[in-house]
Chains A and B, each alone.
Chain A
């Protein structure tokens, strides 16, 4: 599975958009980009995933560059409850495949 690189931490003002970058320059053609987040002392929560097209759901938007070597998770209107560690993971889709977590980005939403 391709390795990802994320900034260790970011701050965002409440109500503003939070843009979390992820580099995955060695991504393969069949690998998807998955985003999860973990609020303190809870299990991780699935956010969104995509292959090459931009994706949007009720939680966030995922923008993937045309060469697929990087992506950005966008939380359009961050709230204090969005403070969490955000993990970007790249791998091929599989119902039996495991997810390997990197260090992620700690997002601190400030009032």
Chain B
């Protein structure tokens, strides 16, 4: 199956700093990627849709100035948490449609990045 990789898998930062998380499609191209956030014992919550070469689309209630998304190439999307606060501590997961040229609806997910803000 298609492989999506995230980096870093774990990151600890101080309050007020910015953290960048990378999401790469390793063996396929992805014009669209999705970013999710998951708090402990809760389900995944969609944050935004990352579009290659254009602005990301954010879900209602997600601050676009706080969660900066860049999709500069067909294999890389980045999520930057700006001025991080302890309440931003969460598990961040990216995903991408795995099969181009065939509409299947499957999404392939990265391993997730656990952010801890002190």
Contact = CB atoms under 8 A, between A and B. Distances in A.
Interface string B31-50: 11010100000011110010
B109 A102 contact: no
A103 B98 CA distance: 24
A94 B98 CA distance: 11
B109 A93 contact: no
B105 A92 contact: yes
A102 B21 CA distance: 25
Given A41-B112, A45-B109, A96 B97 contact: yes
B38 to A, nearest CB: 9
B83 to A, nearest CB: 26
B109 A95 contact: no
Interface in A43-96: 43-46, 49, 85, 87, 91-96
Interface residues of B, number: 30
Interface in B87-118: 91, 93, 95, 97-100, 103-112, 114
Nearest to B93: A43
Contacts of B105: 32, 34, 49, 91-95, 97
A49 B44 contact: no
B112 A43 contact: yes
Given A41-B91, A43-B93, A98-B49, A93 B44 contact: no
A79 B31 CA distance: 37
Given A43-B112, A49-B106, 16 more contacts: A41-B112, A42-B111, A43-B93, A43-B110, A44-B95, A44-B107, A46-B1, A46-B107, A46-B109, A49-B104, A49-B105, A92-B105, A93-B103, A95-B32, A96-B32, A98-B49
6 contacts: A41-B114, A44-B107, A46-B1, A95-B104, A102-B43, A104-B43
Interface of B: 1, 4, 6, 31-32, 34, 36, 43-46, 49, 91, 93, 95, 97-100, 103-112, 114
